[in-house]
Amino acid sequence: MNEYAVEISDLSKTFISIRRRAIVIPVERTRVEALKSVTLNIPKGQIYGLLGPNGAGKTTLIKCLATLVLPTSGTARVNGYDVLKESTYARASMGVCQGNERSIYWKLSARENMIFFAKLYRMPHDEARERADDLLGRMGLLEKANEKVENLSHGMRMKIVFARALLHDPPILLLDEPTQGLDPTFATDLRRFIRDELHDRTILLTTHYMHEADLLCDKIALINEGELKSLGTPKELKEEVRNYDSLHMKVVGSPDIESIRAMDMVMTATSTERNGHSELVVTAEDGYELAYRLLNIMHQTPGVKVEHFEVKEPTLDDVFLKLTGRRIED
Amino acid sequence: MTIPKVVHEDSGAVESIYLRSFKPRLMDWQAAQVFAMKNLRIAIRYPANFLIWGILPLLWYAPYILMMIAIAGPGTSQHFTELSGFQDFVTFSIIAVFVYQYVDKSIWSVGNNFRWEQFSGTLEPLFVTPVPRISILVGAAFSDTLQCTFSACVLLVISSMLFGVTYAFTMVAPIVVMLTMMVFALYGFSFLIAGLILVFKDPSVLTELISNITYVLSPITYPIQALPSAARYAAVLVPSTVAIITIRELAITGLFEPISFFQASILMLVLIIGFWTIGILAFRWGENWTKERGSMGGF
């Protein structure tokens, strides 16, 4: 018996868009490599996180596995089934939750939505209803079961979208940003559900919330510009920057990021500007020494004033920064 | 309630009973029925749909009847009788308008449904279920045919009362058979349009063109003899032409001629096979095209 629930081998996807003149004459061909030879094997019963910024290729990878996008090259197997050649079996083996509240019927009630999708998995009506009520109950939505989806809150809709993925009790779950845009209470509820109730499933979870990946995942794959940069447990990944401190500094004005990067002790440095403020994240072996030297430079720079600074333990974002030179939330 | 699970002893992996008994199907009639019921349930939750079903068809064809009356006087003209073989052109056209309700709806039904699912954001979730695509296509078509039956019957009843026309209701059985065959043939056409809609998203020019050509070639408000000779040959390839001519004969004359009905049925069967083959191939091509470009859920 194969030990992997999901096997991805050298998977690539290139999107080609053609700009045409007069509808038919191609004038420009743009190639976007959304996935570049991705190889990833997920053992049964493990939760793997796919962490990366927007546009990193997370959703494309999920869609290739969900048989919604055809890969350009490489292979992918879900529950042992090739997603191209045995796509029906692959689809029957997985539940897919895309973080989109519009992916259920707003004119139907929560229960009607669940029963409809359950019947597409060939459940008889009574069983479909029982299963729908069970899942809605576990999501804390049983009281709202007869309410039309259009009258429910965003968080409740997302819970229905999530519960739908579990209707046929699939051994494999593909969760694409399941908590995106949820308020903290709903997001915490969903994370608790994933951690406590789905521990016997194989889950591939995409997220750009580092703490979510840190909390839920057995292993995390960092992805950027279609390439897997690193794979390991959250602890292993943080080990990669164990010897570094991360200095977070909030300043008024725009400090010269290039001169900071040029400092001999600086490993990485990024700056994000918002409303006249800059948020600097700089890594170095000794965060306190770095803070001392940086504060001196800032004091001497006209128009720049330090409002707040803090030396932090390394996070997954720091790992990502070290590997890619950019932050996950960029 | 929790669905019972099977645990593999060798790997410890969990597998649902559903997965163990799962077998892919070429056609899943339960899924088609569930999809059609879902569409009907949503349709009746938009109250304005009742206006569309009940009144709009009447408003749509009334100008043609009025125009005919204005040109030829009430009832008929000698030229019309010579050309068509029927005495009364109001009776002649109302039954054809009734049939054309199905034509129009069948051509657009699946494509419009898929477009609606795409806009709603529900197309991708449907496509990740292991349901055969053909079941979703047929389900979408069924729901629109049922809605159409309601509106076509309202049209027939109101028109009969307004214009005092009567038809041979003893011919209901062969009419239903012919109508069903026509609708099935047009479903194939509709699959083709659904494939085009997946690719082009809003191929309004193309589908408007197809719809209008079908409308012109179908002898609704005029006999087929009124068409130019080249167009008459093309008209035979449109399922609605055969159906309208056969149903009109049955409904107006009340005479059932087994040989001509059999010939019409054979022709319709050929059209069903042809249209379904082209429709399913076109839809598969459209689905693959969108999967290659990753634009399944896009607008």
Report the predicted TM-score, pTM, of the whole model to 2 decimal places.
0.81
Tell whether A200 is within 8 A of chain B (Cβ).
yes
Q: Is a pLDDT exceeding 60 seen at residue B78?
A: yes
Whether residue B4 has pLDDT greater than 70: no
pLDDT tens-digit map of A28-61: 778 889 999 999 999 999 999 998 888 899 999 9
| Range of lowest pLDDT (A175-189, A313-327, B162-176) | A313-327
Q: What is the ipTM of this complex?
A: 0.81
Q: If you measure CA to CA, which chain B residue comes closest to A104?
A: B122
Q: What is the mean pLDDT of residues A22-27?
A: 69
Residue B6 confidence (pLDDT) above 60:
no
Say if residue B269's pLDDT is above 90: yes
Query: For residue B16, is pLDDT > 90?
Result: no
Interstrand relation of A305-312 and A266-274 (parallel, antiparallel or unpaired): unpaired
Mutate to test the interface with A, among B128, B206, B288 (most CBs of A within 10 A): B128
Contact B291 A70 (CB under 8 A): yes
Restricting to B residues 60-79, those with a Cβ less than 8 Å away from any Cβ of A are none
For residue B260, report the phi and psi dihedrals to the nearest 5 degrees. -70, -35
Evaluate if residue B288 carries a pLDDT over 70: yes
Inter-chain residue contact A121 with B122, CB threshold 8 Å:
no
Residue A142 pLDDT > 90: yes
- Check residue B135 and give its pLDDT: 92
Tell me which residue of B101, B242, B97, B251 sits closest to B172, measured CA to CA: B251
**Confidence (pLDDT) at A264:** 84
Find the mean pLDDT for residues A127-155: 95
Q: How far apart are CA B124 and CA B296, in angstroms?
A: 7
| Mean pLDDT for chain A overall | 88
pLDDT score, position A137: 95
Region B156-165 average pLDDT: 84
A68 touches chain B (CB under 8 A): yes
Task: Give the pLDDT of residue B1.
Answer: 40
Range in A37-46, A257-266, A282-291, B5-14 with the lowest mean pLDDT? B5-14
As a whole number of angstroms, the distance between CA A229 and CA A112 comes to: 43
**Once rounded to an integer, what is the mean pLDDT over residues A81-90?**
94
Residue B12 has pLDDT above 50, yes or no: no
* Any A CB within 8 A of B293 CB: yes
| Stretch among A24-28, B120-124, B127-131, B229-233 having the lowest mean pLDDT | A24-28
pLDDT, residue A133, reads: 97
Q: Is B15 on the interface with A (CB under 8 A)?
A: yes
Q: Look at residue A90 in the predicted model and tell me its pLDDT.
A: 94
Are A102 and B120 inside 8 Å of each other by CB?
Answer: yes
List the single range of A100-114, A287-301, B136-150 with lowest mean pLDDT: A287-301
pLDDT given at position A20: 72
Least CB–CB distance from A171: residue in B10, B13, B45:
B13
pLDDT at A314 over 80: no
Q: For B11, which of A13, A16, A44 is closest by C-beta distance?
A: A44
B16 interfacial to chain A (CB closer than 8 Å):
yes
Q: What is the pLDDT of residues A293-309, one digit of tens each?
A: 888 888 888 888 888 88
Is the CB of residue A170 less than 8 Å away from at least one CB of chain B? Answer: yes
Query: Percentage of chain B surpassing pLDDT 90?
Result: 25
The chain A residue lying nearest B32, using CA atoms, is A120
Given a cut of 70, is residue A105 above it in pLDDT?
Answer: yes
- Give the CA dihedral B22, B25, B29, B34, nearest 10 degrees: 50
Chain B segment 114-153 residues within 8 A of A by beta carbon are: 120-122, 124-132
**How far is it, in rounded angstroms, from Cα B241 to Cα A43?**
60
Distances (CA, A) of B282 to B65, B190, B289: 38, 10, 10
> Predicted confidence band at A22 (pLDDT cuts at 50, 70, 90)?
low
Predicted confidence at residue A330, as pLDDT, reads 58
Q: How far does Cα B263 stand from its chain's mean position? A: 22
Q: How many CA atoms lie within 13 A of B247 on its CB side?
A: 30
Compare all CA atoms of chain A with the CA of B129 and give the residue at the minimum distance: A91
Q: Is the pLDDT of residue A150 over 50?
A: yes
Average pLDDT over residues B49-53: 74
Q: What residues of chain B lie within 8 A of the CB of A105, using their CB? A: 38, 42, 120, 122
Q: Between these two residues, A25 and A196, which has the higher pLDDT value?
A: A196
Per-residue model confidence (pLDDT) at position B13: 45
pLDDT: which is higher, B66 or A65: A65
How is residue A195 written in tokens?
């951690």
* Residue in B1, B12, B296 closest to A134 by CB: B1
CB pairs under 8 A between A and B: 129
Q: Which A residues 30-59 touch B at CB under 8 Å? A: 34, 44-45
Q: What is the pLDDT of residue B11?
A: 46
Indicate yes or no: CB of A108 within 8 angstroms of CB of B292. no
Q: Report residue A180 as tokens.
A: 């995106």
Is A131 within 8 Å of chain B by CB? yes
Judged by CB atoms closer than 8 Å, whether chains meet at B15 and A171 is answered as yes
Task: List the single residue in B10, B12, B129 with the smallest CB-CB distance to A91.
Answer: B129
How far CA B24 is from CA of A130, B129, B131, in Å, comes to 24, 11, 8
DSSP A262-277: TSTTEEEEEEEEETTE
Residue B179: pLDDT band with limits 50, 70, 90? very high
Compute the nearest-CA separation of B210 from chain A (Å): 20
pLDDT tens-digit readout, A219-254: 999 999 999 999 999 888 877 777 778 888 888 888
Q: For residue A291, what pLDDT is reported?
A: 83
Measured distance CA(A32)–CA(A226) in Å, rounded: 10
Q: What is the mean pLDDT of residues A127-142?
A: 94
**Closest CB to A103 among B17, B24, B125:** B125
The proportion of chain A whose per-residue pLDDT surpasses 70, expressed as a percent, equals 98
Q: Strand pairing of A227-232 and A219-224? A: antiparallel
Q: Round to the nearest angstrom and report the end-to-end CA distance of chain A.
A: 42
Residues in A closer than 8 angstroms to B291, CB to CB, are 67-70
User: H or E stretch including A81?
Assistant: strand A81-82
The mean of the pLDDT values for chain B is 84
Contact check, Cβ <8 Å, A103/B121? yes
In Å, how far is B288's CA from the nearest CA of chain A? 8
- Which residues of B fall within a CB distance of 8 Å from A112? 38, 41
**pLDDT at A92 (0 to 100):** 94
Q: Which amino acid is at A299?
A: H
- The 10s digit of each residue's pLDDT in B203-256 is 667 777 877 888 888 888 888 888 898 888 888 888 888 899 999 999 998 889
Shortest Cα distance from B192 to chain A (angstroms)? Answer: 20
A144 at the B interface (CB within 8 A)? no
Instruction: Provide mean pLDDT across the span B112-127.
Output: 87
Rounded mean pLDDT, B24-39: 92
To the nearest whole angstrom, how far is the Cα of B180 from the nearest Cα of chain A? 26
- Cα of B288 vs its chain's centroid, Å: 25
CB contact under 8 A, A68 and B3: no
Burial class (CB in 10 A: 0-12, 13-18, 19+), B122: buried
Sign of the torsion formed by the C-alpha atoms of B131, B133, B138 and B139: positive
Q: Is B169 part of the contact surface with chain A (CB cutoff 8 Å)?
A: no
Question: Residue B45: its chain A contacts at CB < 8 A?
Answer: 107
